[in-house]
Amino acid sequence: MTRIIQADSQGIAAAAALVKKGGLVVFPTETVYGLGANALDGRAVARIFEAKDRPHFNPLIVHVADLEAAAALVGMDARARKLAAAFWPGALTMILPRRADCPVSDLCSAGLPTLAVRVPRHKIARQLLQAAGVPVAAPSANRSGLLSPTTPAHAMQSLQGRVDMVLAGGACDVGLESTVIDLSGRDPVLARPGSITPEMLADVLGMDIVTGQTLQDGEQPSSPGQLLRHYAPSVPVRLEAVDLLPGEALLAFGSIRFMGVRGGGAAKDLPEEMIRNLSPEGDLYEAAANLFAMLHDLDQPGHSAIAVMAIPGHGVGMAINDRLQRAAKR
Ligand code: TXA
Ligand code: MG
């Protein structure tokens, strides 16, 4: 059931409480409505992908109340601070290196060492972020492949029954998703155009912005103006494993009681560094939340491969399998 709530002080407090405890809340920003979840809670972030029917895990923008909250998550160099001073709060998202102690779920980063952060200007968004007191991951509040919503009615059409609450705060004034600039490399790169133009950014930085699509080695262009990068393990990934080869690490899902190692032995007796279980109880949200961290853990040169047990393809399982298939292809 989706509640639609007026964004008065009571409504905002209810939305903040819901976010804190892992719910999904649609809320207005000056660009478009966002589909928000507590970015510290991997299961809540996993629910975003399911609600959107997203067949894969794109990295998500994390929204925070102010510069200080952003600086607790990512490394903000001089360029980032200049842009923040000029455009925050506002329609600018910056991709920056995650801090070593960044507590945000790595599902928001799609396993990458970077995180996209934004301080929105919209009054309701800011009040919500302040009241929630946690960073909020929020893609646009539409189902995958549909237009970004700029009114509560748009969001309801797309997500009714899939989110817990829509915080209604009128139409968005920008109506176009934020400009995304990638500051994680040597040169600033425009990752998505928006209302803040490359000229405006270049003016503040006193340097040129790279605007052409710069793809990483072997990468396919995604949609125009988007950089889609994902974490790729360096050891081979073997899918649908029903047993283990000697030397393989195990990424399990559900019970491993009956899984064996070829040539003798049981998977459950492997040393701790060779085994992770995405969800012993077979919970797909838990599995999604653990996916990138556990792939990282098992991505050790000493392992001949990462053998992954079969994951059901329904709900958020589709995105998990998409990610695993990409990881297995390299
Ligand atoms: O205006 C907006 O930005 C809205 C409101 C709700 O804030 N949000 C939004 O989110 O448009 P979304 O998920 O629809 O778009 C996020 C964009 C995608 O193009 C994604 O690939 C990119 O940002 N992105 C996010 N994190 C990234 C990262 N770590 N590296 C590269 N690209 C990233
Ligand atoms: Mg979108």
Which ligand does the CA of 225 lie closest to?
A: 1
Out of 9-23, 67-81, 116-130, 287-301, least confident range: 287-301
Per-residue pLDDT tens digits for 188-233: 999 988 889 899 999 999 999 998 654 444 444 443 334 456 677 8
Per-residue pLDDT tens digits for 154-184: 899 999 999 999 999 999 988 889 999 999 9
| Average pLDDT score over residue span 14-24 | 98
Task: Compute, in angstroms, the gap from residue 308 CA to the centroid of ligand 1.
Answer: 29
Tokens 């509640």 belong to 3
Task: Compute, in angstroms, the gap from residue 1 CA to the centroid of ligand 2.
Answer: 23
Structure tokens at 62: 């994390």
Task: Compute, in angstroms, the gap from residue 139 CA to the centroid of ligand 2.
Answer: 6
Q: Read off the DSSP letter of residue 212.
A: S
The CA angle 210-323-193, to the nearest 5 degrees, is 25
Number of Cβ atoms within 10 Å of the Cβ of 157 = 13
In the chain, the percentage of residues whose pLDDT exceeds 70 is: 94
Counting from 1 in the atom list of ligand 1, the atom nearest the Cα of 63 is: 7
* Predicted pLDDT of residue 13: 98
Ligand 1 pocket, residues with Cβ under 6 angstroms? 29, 31-32, 34, 58-61, 93, 95, 109, 112, 114-116, 118, 138-140, 177-178, 180, 191-192, 226-229
* Predicted pLDDT of residue 64: 98
Task: Compute, in angstroms, the gap from residue 255 CA to the centroid of ligand 2.
Answer: 36
Task: Compute, in angstroms, the gap from residue 94 CA to the centroid of ligand 1.
Answer: 9
Spatial separation of the C-alpha atoms in residues 61 and 95, rounded to whole Å: 9
State the DSSP string of 229-295.
Answer: -----SS-EE-S-SSB-TTEEEEE-S--TT-BBTTS-BGGGS-GGGEEES-TT--HHHHHHHHHHHH
Q: Check if the beta carbon of residue 323 is closer than 8 Å to that of residue 230.
A: yes
Reference 113, options 59, 72, 154, 156; nearest CA is 59
Structure tokens at 266: 């049981």
Q: Would you place residue 55 in the very low, low, confident or very high pLDDT band (cuts 50, 70, 90)?
A: confident
Reference 291, options 114, 110, 59, 97; nearest CA is 110
Q: Residue 186 pLDDT > 50, yes or no?
A: yes
Architecture per CATH, domain 237-328, reads as 3-Layer(aba) Sandwich (3.40)
* Predicted pLDDT of residue 211: 87
Peptide bond into 89 cis (omega under 30): yes
Instruction: Assign domain 3-205 one CATH number from 3.40.50.1000, 3.30.70.260, 3.40.50.620, 3.90.870.10.
Output: 3.90.870.10
Per-residue pLDDT tens digits for 244-282: 999 999 999 999 999 999 999 999 999 999 999 999 999
Domain positions in the chain are 3-205, 237-328
Which ligand does the CA of 112 lie closest to?
A: 1
Out of 193-197, 224-228, 283-287, 313-317, least confident range: 224-228
* Predicted pLDDT of residue 54: 86
Question: What is the overall mean pLDDT for the chain?
Answer: 92
* Predicted pLDDT of residue 231: 73
Counting from 1 in the atom list of ligand 1, the atom nearest the Cα of 33 is: 6
Counting from 1 in the atom list of ligand 1, the atom nearest the Cα of 58 is: 21
Task: Compute, in angstroms, the gap from residue 185 CA to the centroid of ligand 1.
Answer: 17
